[in-house]
Structure 1
Amino acid sequence: MGEIQRYKELVGRRVAEDDLEGLAVDLLKAAVANQGNWAGLWDGVLDRVRRLPPEGRSRVADGLVAQYHSEQAGPKARENALILLGIVSRDLPPHDRLLAERLALLDQIARQHSFWYSAHYENLVEAELAAGRPIPPAVVATVRRSVTHAYQNEDLLRTAKKLTEPPVNVGEAWADQALSDAADDSDWQALLAHAATATAAKPNAKWDQRATTLTTALSTSLGPDRVRETVLTWLALVGRPRTLELERGTYEPDVNSAYDPYNANALRGLAWLLSLLPPHPDTARALGALVETSLKKVAGLGPRNPKVANAGVNALARIDSEAALAELARLATRVTYKNTLKLLDAALETRAAALGLSREEIEELAVPAYGLTEVGRAEHRFGEVTAVLEVQGTKAVLTWRNASGKAVKSVPAAVRRDHAEDLKELKAAAKDIDKMLSAQSERLDRQFLADRTWSYATWRERYLDHPLVGTLARRLLWTVDGTTVGHAEGALRTLADTPVTEGTEVRLWHPVDHTPAEIVAWRDWLERHGVTQPFKQAHREVYLLTDAERATGTYSNRFAAHVLRQHQFHSLAAVRGWRNKLRLAVDDEAPPPSRNLPRWGLRAEYWIEGDGGADYSDITDSGSYLRLRTDQVRFYPIDAPENSAHCGGGEYRMWLRDGAEPVEPLPLTDIPPLVLSEVLRDVDLFVGVASVGNDPTWQDGGPGGRFQEYWTSYGFGELNQSAETRRLLLDRLIPRLAIADRCTLEGRFLHVKGDRHTYKIHLGSGNILRTPNDQYLCIVPKSAPASPQTGYLPYEGDRMLAVILSKAMMLAADTKITDPTILSQL
């Protein structure tokens, strides 16, 4: 405060002495001293200068030019001189003082994401506007982005409002294409400008009215479909790498992977605008893709832009079409970001209420056939050529036959020439099927805890005989009036292959309700009929209460004392329907990861704590822990008060409000076996995937060797339940492998005999030891290892099985290994 008052008095004294050149020196010294920050009370110093008459400010400006060229001026002083020059020259006649230098600074500003409001760079822009020169579009973009934190700089806000061109910011692929398409058309430019005004959570009637007027004008001149087609070409480019890369500060998020915040408003507007046009399947696809692209994670930031994702959901909810409803239902199984998921749930609930259906029923009815005319198959005629669309496992496969019925490898030229639009729609349908198959597989996998039942007729219509869902339902086991059935040879059949053609009530089969002998018999039945299940069902791990858990009574320590990668755990938890809060290295508390089970009136909790190391070095730039330590699994009534503990560890305590009494955890013996099994299976998945013990590069124990003991015990220790299931499967698979004579299963390991050494692959972690002294062999698997040709597999989705088999194939032929990193260890 004293420093600011001193400079105010100094300004007054220099003015009284008519020493305005000296005032320029004083101002520049102050700018360097306060690091160019003229915010807050410092702004009063500048006000004194701004009140000088024009001739006085001109003399100060000349003094700043002189100081800029002085020998003692450094880079910071020169930059501040340019800013001060812009401030004191406001409203003066256009001038060319330090013009080249000002333009060079503007060029530098153009490569920044934004600038802090106190930098006052807007004065450089005002000088250019006063001179009648256009502002480079990249500079316009920086100014617009800077407005988001310009609440203390009214000058910046006023300057930004003057920059009306271009209608959206340059530098993103979609925006550049939009500006190119709208370059010579005022109607398109007006539409883009209106889209950029979409700053609210939802469009109001006035916004919709203006959007309708603009789209009607374009549709009248170009045709009704042209607006939609053009906007969809823009949305198809969203998420592409920036065309103008921005400079990134050391601790800043990855701004080049995030959305331009000004353009994000325009994307919201375009999504809303599409919902006002006649419904079309392409619109629903594009909006669904926009939601998913907008929720992709960016380092240091999180989801790219949840507001754009939410606008996509709101737009889909406003479209009354089967395709839009299908996208909402698909996204509800894929989206894990809490606020967007709430919007999806609300949209589906609203649609269900309007139709007098339950939420589950609307999800079932929302699945389209995508042109399939029978379960998993459709034929389409294109002149004399036939396209066959078939669902094969998790993919839709498109094949072609010529007029004589002979298969051809590629799309015939006549089809590409004469049926381009139909071909485009067919290919789009194939992609839609791939996405929906994945979503429906996950939805079905969650039905165990939903404990759903269906009438036989409804179930056949929505599941077994549905053209798309039927490809999944026919590979699962069900109970019809208590009798287990599977689908084979065109009919539902019992274990003895007796057909079942009618029934009353249907449930999804779960192994916890059946004897080990029956489970094994059904596994044999699936293999005999060549059925590969879309996820583990007959081979599903079952977690029964142990003696140790009976002894502890109200909690399970089965998955305690593990070290997990926090962000991987967080993502997995969201996918499996668990609520979790990232642990930050701050003085704050958080509830444990939990999963509500409304069908059972229960809440499951998995207690965790952050691990930042002794010196808190194991945290991200944004302050979140890299790793977690795990503790108990507990169950409470669903409406029990929430527990919480410090993010960095400590005792969990129940958060009590309004005089509420604490609620004790429920005895594990009171938890239904299916619920206990499924919850513990989730937790086993979290540990099995996110444990640092799975990282083959951590043989040294990670940072400072802190995790050496844990890594060794996990990476080569006793098998968990999923690894035991993997062992049973390998016991059946190995005899069918081309390397069967080189492989044996012994305890926790698959032994592989190579020509150089014999190797032991751990069935839980995939880590490898080699003879003769159990020396560790580090082989880092590819992110998506190819599944070796093993013939029949009973279920899909076990990545670790693919890792183990691919390592076994490589090591059995170890003399053919060429990778220098692996060879150096052999």
Structure 2
Amino acid sequence: MRAPESAYADIMAVRETISGGDLDELAELLVRIGTREGNTWHGDRACLPERVRELPEEQRRRLAQLWTSRYQRATDPEGERSVLLTLLRVADPSSGLLSAERLQRIDELSRRVMCHDHEELLALVEGEVAAGRALPGPFIAMIRRSRLAAYWSGPVLDQMLHLFEEPVLNPGEAWADQALADAETFGEPGRRLLGQLRAAVSSRPTRAWERAVLALVDQIGPATVRHTALSWLDLAGKPRTLPLDPVSEWENPRADSQYDPYNVDALRGLAWLTALLTPGQDIVRGLGGLAETSLRKVPGIGPRNPKVANAAVTALARIEGEGALAELARLATRVTYKATLKMIGTALDVRAEAAGLSRAEIEELSVPSYGLSAVGRGEHPVGDATALLEVQGTKALLSWRTGAGRAVKTAPAAVRNAFPDAIKEVRAAAKDIDRMLTAQSERLDRQFLARRSWALGPWRECILDHPLLGTLARRLIWTVDGTPAAFEGRDLRTVDGRPVSSDPAAPITLWHPLGHADAQVAGWREWLEIREITQPFKQAHRETYPLTDAERTTGDYSNRFAGHFLRQHQFHSLAATRGWTSKLRLCVDDTCPPAYKELPQWGLRAEFWIESVGGREEDDLTESGAYTRISTDQVRFYPLAAAHNWAHAGGGRYSQGANWRRDGRPLLDPLPLSSVPELVLSEVLRDVDLFVGVASVGNDPTWQDGGPRGRFRDYWHSYGFGELSTSAKLRAELLTRLIPRLAIGDRCTVEGRFLRVRGEMNAYRIHLGSGNVLIAPQDRYLCIVPTGRGSGTEAGYLPFEGDGVLSVILSKAMLLAKDREITDPTITSQL
């Protein structure tokens, strides 16, 4: 291949040709340069367009005509694009030449995230302005995004953007498109309102900003603004109406999954605006949804936009009433992003202090009934029909009854047509119940380590008989003044049916199986299973982790879950959900603490030591440079005030206080495990067992070859078919009791580490820890990838919710028991 000529040679050739005055030769030369080098007008060659522009106008017009004819005859796509880009820079915009090509290029760039060739943008803008045409909104949006990302040539882009005040927002997002359309109907006040929303650039709304917004709301009409603002909130985060097409490594490949950066301040202003309007559950619901949408993880990026989430929390904190307080309490159980979670905690603490209550008390008292008039049941008249809301498990089921008393699944057509808003509100209440039940279930599950205790009287009023919380409390076991009891009939009774203390001052706590006799624990499990009560989380069947002889030997650390390989991002997300702090390990020169969980009620901090894996192979890192996998090591406990341990992000030894971030905390030795309260030790190790059970590469059914280059083959086989963990052993005990109740019970038996399933074609063994499958008798591996749609409930009653591996095992058992009916070719090809 011929080496490209130097920039100096190109400059000299163009200069000599211009001096000679041969425009044909100059056109040919510039086409050759553009074709040869592609987009060459940068660096030393940047002066070439200027040389051409210095020609007299008549010669420049003639050159443009010659150049255009050569461009239009070009056949090579790369050369064609290069010549076009070159010509767009130097052609006289007023000549009208290449007008169609310029519009085509503008259309192409309108779908781009950004464009780094600012000179090209300037040529396109000048051409359209000279032609008297308005530039399309998406193209202006692209220029704005380019300006926000520009590290150079900012003045060039500013020069262009000063020409355009419209559109006020970048089009291409569902909410922004609707806002622009609505503002157009409102006229000048509508456009000014959007402009004021974009002015929300501070961390909190200022008084001047609020006064300006309220003045515009009064001009448009408060009811109108409220209605439209809610519709914008509902559309925030919906798929883009104009998908973006990143074409270079410098552009964000997941821009479609994020907010348009130019519109972010307006979204923040929208959240603040709603807090100034007439409050209502619809606004509270919209703000809570905006916070969650804004914190949703984008692969390789992180949360979509915490700044918008924080604005939603700020708005909720300013709204008076139980609805906003309840939404904040719900978000406190769902949000894992630390900065936003801290804001939520502060808002709740302020409300609690104002009410003279504890944080836990105000979180419980703030839970709405959502229209339920009795525990788990509510009726809502709509026209001559009635909507029935009934809670089953952690879901609200909506059904209808006609005026004649006939049960139907959906509202009658006449009612739907006459009362659309009422029906919408009932459906929204059902969704609110689902979200709140999940949040409250998680909150109750955390009460073991929170050391929460109640007095029986207030507990009965605020929890047991609460229309929503009662649906959870009546499926749990409680300890009343030292006596375990559960709700049956109309009261709390022991496992053998005796009533317990009714003294309103009697202390009551959640019952935990740790420390109780095996017979008592087994009795409660049987009690639940006979009555087919599904607990909202594992309680009677909860795993316990008493101190082992090996841990007494090691003394101050546990190796019980060391030596596993976990998917880092899955572990990171799960740890945050369980209240742990874990810094994502990147392949950079940085230090990280271990994953840790602070337990202020006990004055302790638990540490789970982890280490990055690999980094030298392509599969070891994500696009953003994060390690794909981590390995596990020790679990330790320290006093809460002790300095953190630190290790390099790429791996290596942990040491206490060995990082510049050390904040003056004392260097203290880890605590002996024997001194850690047994409940704390058990719950922390249960979390770690959960991390391993969910995030281990050993339960990936597609890794029978050991993963990338077979490096994890031995681990995958030892985990996928090896000894059972504590949770897997409990799973085996449960299945032994439940199998006779299954429709396929006569085809299943528990044999050691496996559930054996007798199909019509083969016999199968499903490992009770990983869910991996072997075909008997040769133990040939059968790869079945779970679809994520099965919940395990199709197999029948389960005594608790939340065991994903158990659901996978039951789903696979149901499938394999009728193996002749399997139609999935990825499975039938292996049978």
Q: TM-score, normalised by structure 1?
A: 0.91
The alignment partner of 1:750 has SS state of: strand
Q: Which of 566, 586, 589 is equivalent to 1:587?
A: 589
Q: Which of 711, 715, 719 is equivalent to 1:710?
A: 715
Amino acid across the alignment from 1:170: P
Q: 1:228 to 1:34 in 2, by over 3 A?
A: farther
Deviates more, 1:809-818 or 1:754-763: 809-818
Provide the residue aligned with 1:519 in structure 2. Answer: 521
What is the deviation of 1:330?
1.0
Please say if residues 560 and 630 of structure 1, whose CA atoms lie closer than 8 Å, have aligned partners that are also in contact: yes
Amino acid across the alignment from 2:590: D
Please say if residues 20 and 63 of structure 1, whose CA atoms lie closer than 8 Å, have aligned partners that are also in contact: no
1:330 maps onto 2:330 in alignment: yes
Q: 1:624 to 1:85 in 2, by over 3 A?
A: same
Matches within 5 A, 1:556-567: 556-567=558-569
In structure 2, distance between residues paired with 1:117 and 1:675: 59
Provide the residue aligned with 1:356 in structure 2. Answer: 356
The alignment partner of 1:397 has SS state of: strand
What is the deviation of 1:67?
5.1
| Identity in percent | 55
Provide the residue aligned with 1:735 in structure 2. Answer: 740
Please say if residues 642 and 665 of structure 2, whose CA atoms lie closer than 8 Å, have aligned partners that are also in contact: no
1:536 maps onto 2:541 in alignment: no
In structure 1, distance between residues paired with 2:647 and 2:134: 57
The alignment partner of 1:564 has SS state of: strand
Q: Which of 751, 766, 785 is equivalent to 2:771?
A: 766
Q: 1:356 to 1:113 in 2, by over 3 A?
A: same
Amino acid across the alignment from 1:279: P
Alpha-carbon deviations, 1:325-344, whole Å to 9, x = none?
A: 22111111111122222222
What is the deviation of 1:821?
2.1
Provide the residue aligned with 1:256 in structure 2. Answer: 256
Please say if residues 202 and 311 of structure 1, whose CA atoms lie closer than 8 Å, have aligned partners that are also in contact: yes
Matches within 5 A, 1:98-117: 98-116=98-116
What is the deviation of 1:76?
6.6
Amino acid across the alignment from 1:544: P
Alpha-carbon deviations, 1:567-593, whole Å to 9, x = none?
A: 111110110111111111223221111
In structure 1, distance between residues paired with 2:9 and 2:224: 62
Provide the residue aligned with 1:239 in structure 2. Answer: 237
The alignment partner of 1:782 has SS state of: coil
What is the total number of aligned residue pairs between the two structures? 815
Q: Which of 699, 704, 711 is equivalent to 2:704?
A: 699
Deviates more, 1:587-596 or 1:76-85: 76-85
Deviates more, 1:100-109 or 1:522-531: 522-531
Please say if residues 568 and 627 of structure 2, whose CA atoms lie closer than 8 Å, have aligned partners that are also in contact: yes
Please say if residues 545 and 682 of structure 2, whose CA atoms lie closer than 8 Å, have aligned partners that are also in contact: yes
Alpha-carbon deviations, 1:162-190, whole Å to 9, x = none?
A: 22222222222222233333344313333
Alpha-carbon deviations, 1:451-482, whole Å to 9, x = none?
A: 11122233223211221111111111121222
Please say if residues 23 and 60 of structure 1, whose CA atoms lie closer than 8 Å, have aligned partners that are also in contact: no
What is the deviation of 1:749?
0.7
Provide the residue aligned with 1:504 in structure 2. Answer: 506
Deviates more, 1:8-17 or 1:435-444: 8-17
The alignment partner of 1:484 has SS state of: strand
Q: 1:278 to 1:59 in 2, by over 3 A?
A: farther
The alignment partner of 2:257 has SS state of: coil
Amino acid across the alignment from 1:672: P
Q: Which of 604, 607, 615 is equivalent to 2:606?
A: 604
In structure 1, distance between residues paired with 2:45 and 2:638: 57
Provide the residue aligned with 2:287 in structure 1. Answer: 287
Provide the residue aligned with 2:630 in structure 1. Answer: 628
In structure 2, distance between residues paired with 1:788 and 1:390: 19
What is the deviation of 1:509?
1.4
The alignment partner of 1:386 has SS state of: strand
The alignment partner of 2:508 has SS state of: strand
Matches within 5 A, 1:490-501: 490-500=490-500, 501=502
What is the deviation of 1:408?
2.8
Please say if residues 39 and 86 of structure 2, whose CA atoms lie closer than 8 Å, have aligned partners that are also in contact: no
In structure 2, distance between residues paired with 1:633 and 1:333: 25
In structure 1, distance between residues paired with 2:320 and 2:45: 54
Deviates more, 1:503-512 or 1:766-775: 503-512
Please say if residues 8 and 45 of structure 1, whose CA atoms lie closer than 8 Å, have aligned partners that are also in contact: no
The alignment partner of 1:182 has SS state of: helix
Q: 1:31 to 1:269 in 2, by over 3 A?
A: farther
What is the deviation of 1:563?
0.9
What is the deviation of 1:691?
0.6
Please say if residues 546 and 682 of structure 2, whose CA atoms lie closer than 8 Å, have aligned partners that are also in contact: yes
In structure 2, distance between residues paired with 1:756 and 1:8: 76
The alignment partner of 2:235 has SS state of: coil
Deviates more, 1:700-709 or 1:233-242: 233-242
Structure 2 unaligned residues grouped into runs of 5+: none
1:800 maps onto 2:805 in alignment: yes
Please say if residues 447 and 508 of structure 1, whose CA atoms lie closer than 8 Å, have aligned partners that are also in contact: yes
Please say if residues 485 and 494 of structure 1, whose CA atoms lie closer than 8 Å, have aligned partners that are also in contact: yes
Provide the residue aligned with 1:688 in structure 2. Answer: 693
What is the deviation of 1:490?
1.3
What is the deviation of 1:417?
4.0
Alpha-carbon deviations, 1:752-809, whole Å to 9, x = none?
A: 1122221111111111111121111111122131424454422112122121112112
Alpha-carbon deviations, 1:254-313, whole Å to 9, x = none?
A: 222222112222222211111111111111111111111222222332222222222221
What is the deviation of 1:24?
9.4
Amino acid across the alignment from 1:225: A
Please say if residues 150 and 157 of structure 1, whose CA atoms lie closer than 8 Å, have aligned partners that are also in contact: no
Q: 1:700 to 1:359 in 2, by over 3 A?
A: same
Q: Which of 576, 580, 583 is equivalent to 1:574?
A: 576
Provide the residue aligned with 1:380 in structure 2. Answer: 380
Q: Which of 192, 195, 214 is equivalent to 1:193?
A: 195
Provide the residue aligned with 1:227 in structure 2. Answer: 225
Deviates more, 1:253-262 or 1:139-148: 253-262
1:481 maps onto 2:486 in alignment: no
Provide the residue aligned with 1:178 in structure 2. Answer: 179
The alignment partner of 1:797 has SS state of: coil
Please say if residues 478 and 485 of structure 2, whose CA atoms lie closer than 8 Å, have aligned partners that are also in contact: yes
Q: 1:798 to 1:662 in 2, by over 3 A?
A: same
In structure 1, distance between residues paired with 2:780 and 2:49: 74
Q: 1:15 to 1:199 in 2, by over 3 A?
A: farther
Q: 1:130 to 1:513 in 2, by over 3 A?
A: farther
In structure 2, distance between residues paired with 1:753 and 1:406: 45
Please say if residues 37 and 118 of structure 1, whose CA atoms lie closer than 8 Å, have aligned partners that are also in contact: no
Matches within 5 A, 1:265-276: 265-276=265-276
What is the deviation of 1:603?
1.1
Please say if residues 290 and 309 of structure 2, whose CA atoms lie closer than 8 Å, have aligned partners that are also in contact: yes
Please say if residues 112 and 244 of structure 2, whose CA atoms lie closer than 8 Å, have aligned partners that are also in contact: yes
In structure 2, distance between residues paired with 1:610 and 1:275: 44
Please say if residues 24 and 63 of structure 1, whose CA atoms lie closer than 8 Å, have aligned partners that are also in contact: yes
What is the deviation of 1:157?
1.7
CA RMSD of aligned residues (A): 3.2
In structure 2, distance between residues paired with 1:396 and 1:740: 30
Provide the residue aligned with 1:725 in structure 2. Answer: 730
1:297 maps onto 2:301 in alignment: no
In structure 1, distance between residues paired with 2:450 and 2:772: 36
Provide the residue aligned with 2:150 in structure 1. Answer: 150
Amino acid across the alignment from 1:801: L
Q: TM-score, normalised by structure 2?
A: 0.91
The alignment partner of 2:634 has SS state of: strand
Alpha-carbon deviations, 1:40-59, whole Å to 9, x = none?
A: x8799599879x87x75885
The alignment partner of 2:435 has SS state of: helix
Q: 1:677 to 1:250 in 2, by over 3 A?
A: farther
The alignment partner of 1:511 has SS state of: coil
The alignment partner of 1:428 has SS state of: helix
